Structures are given as structure tokens and as C-alpha cells.
Amino acid sequence: MRSKIVAGNWKMNKNSEETEDLINELIDKLPTDGNTKIIIAPTFINLASAVDHTEFTNIRVAAQNMHQAENGAYTGEISADMLKSIGVNTVILGHSERRSIFHETDAVISFKVDTALKHDMTVIFCFGEELKDRQNKQHFNIVENQLRDGLFHIDKSAWANIILAYEPVWAIGTGETASPEQAQEMHEFIRETVRKVFGSDIAEDVSILYGGSVKPDNAAAIFSKPDIDGGLIGGAALKADDFVAIVNGI
């Protein structure tokens, strides 16, 4: 069944003490009775302590990235096995900042997806068009290509471990959000694209999150749309009150 999910991508923010403080505040303030799945993604260095702190809560911890290789001479990188060994079972892959700043291609991202699935991890697969793509009316093509090239090689059985996150690049960290109608239009297209390749059961079951300047004052309108199953939150995930308000908006 399709889940409601709100995930916080903390990016390169919060040192060890700040991570602990924010998690404690979230534990105090987040609802404990809802059906919404809550995920936080602190930096690599704080993942182990985040797993410890959230052990008896409904908060799950994700990594923001990982390397595709099992192990070896990849200075500065982190493997799936390392994440699993500290209790991290979810990973964000294909984030637009990984694509644009760190030059990750669809091919690299597809290897990462394979490695994560091989380790039975859940993948939050990110994709989305740039402003110029939308201006050129290429946004549907771009999104379809990112899905096909990065993700659609997987087995039908792997979809239980996939969460999709549509993040239009022009809305990330800019304060400019897609309107609920623009987001719904794209989410409907994404679900149809999944349906064409993998069938209705998978298309109906997969959660599709929206990311890009989701804030307490726009979350409820975005989440009210039928194909939007939650959000991947950047800046507003760094303040407990804002993140909690977004969770309550679902």
C-alpha cells in the first residue's frame, strides 16, 4: 500500500551536538500516532548517533548518498555495507546536488540503485528538471529519461524498496515552489510512466514525494493533491517546529 512519507534531507548542516538537539526536539514534538512515515537524513558522520537516538521512536534514519562499489580504494566514500552495519537501511540517491555539483550521471546513479537494492535498502530516488527544461517545455521528457536511465532497469519485485522524489531543480532552496497544480501534473505523469512500464499495482503502490521549498505555509496545499504522497524537505527540515508543521500538514 502507498505510504504517506515526510523526509528531511539535512544536507551538509548540523554538527554532532546540533544533530542531537534537533533529534531530541523532533522526538518531543512529532506526532507519535499518525500513519505518516518520518525519515531524517543527517550527514554521514552523525548517522550512527542518529540511529541510536531514534531507536525507540517512529523516526527512521537515511543516508544522503553512498558509493556504488562494495568496498575498495575509493577515498572518502561510504558503502552500503557500512550504512547497514550501523542500522541505516534507507538511502537518498540521485539528488540534484549530487548530479550537478558532484557530476553523478544517470549511469552512476543506476549502479548505486543496484547496490542499494542488493543490500535490501530502501532507495529514495530523486529526479527533476532544471528551469531551462521547463521553459523549453522539455520537463516531461527529462523526467521520463531520468526514470528510465536511472531506475527502470530494476526488477518488479524491487519496487517495494523504492520511494520516488520529484524535485524540480528550480524549486530547490530558491523559495520558489512548484504550485500544487504543477506538482500534481508532474506526479500524475510520473505515476503513468511507472504504470506503462511496470503495471498498475506498482504505480498505485509507489509513494511519490515532492521536494523543493516545501514550508509550513504551503505543505498542506501540496500534500492535498492525489498523487503527492508526501515531501522531501530541505531547509525547513532544519527547524523542528517547521518540520513538525509540515508533517502535520499531510
- 10 among annotated binding-site residues: yes
Rounded to an integer, what distance in angstroms lies between the CA atom of residue 157 and that of residue 162?
10
Q: Which residues have C-beta within 8 Å of that of residue 132, sequence separation ≥ 6? A: none
- Quick one: CA dihedral 149, 154, 156, 161, positive or negative? negative
Active site residue 119: no
- 159 among annotated binding-site residues: no
- 11 among annotated binding-site residues: yes
Residues 174/195, Cβ–Cβ less than 8 Å: no
- 196 among annotated binding-site residues: no
- With CB under 6 A as the contact rule, which of the stretches 156-164, 183-191, 192-200, 207-215 interacts with ligand 13P? 207-215
The least distance separating ligand 13P from the CB of residue 126, rounded to whole angstroms, comes to 7
Q: Does 232 contact ligand 13P by CB under 6 A?
A: yes
Rounded to an integer, what distance in angstroms lies between the CA atom of residue 106 and that of residue 150?
5
Which residues partner with 7 through β-bridges? 39, 232
Between strands 90-93 and 59-63, the pairing is: parallel
Q: Does 235 contact ligand 13P by CB under 6 A?
A: yes
The least distance separating ligand 13P from the CB of residue 236, rounded to whole angstroms, comes to 6
Cell of 137: 517545455
Instruction: Estimate the crossing angle of helix 240-248 against helix 216-223, to 10 degrees.
Output: 20
Rounded to an integer, what distance in angstroms lies between the CA atom of residue 66 and that of residue 61?
14
Active site residue 95: yes
Contact code string over 7-36 relative to ligand 13P, x by CB under 6 A: --x---------------------------
Between strands 59-63 and 37-41, the pairing is: parallel
Q: Does 199 contact ligand 13P by CB under 6 A?
A: no
Alpha-carbon distances, residue 229 vs 85, 201, 223 (angstroms): 29, 16, 7
Contact pick of 63, 190, 208, 233 for ligand 13P (by CB under 6 A): 233
The least distance separating ligand 13P from the CB of residue 201, rounded to whole angstroms, comes to 28
Return the number of the residue (142 or 202) whose C-beta is nearest ligand 13P. 142
53, 95, 139, 187: the active-site residue = 95
Residues 150/109, Cβ–Cβ less than 8 Å: yes
Contact pick of 16, 120, 173, 217 for ligand 13P (by CB under 6 A): 173
Contact pick of 151, 203, 214, 250 for ligand 13P (by CB under 6 A): 214
Q: Which residues bind to ligand 13P, rule: CB under 6 A?
A: 9, 95, 167, 172-173, 211-214, 232-236
Active-site amino acid positions: 95, 167
Annotated binding site for substrate: 9-11, 173, 213, 234-235
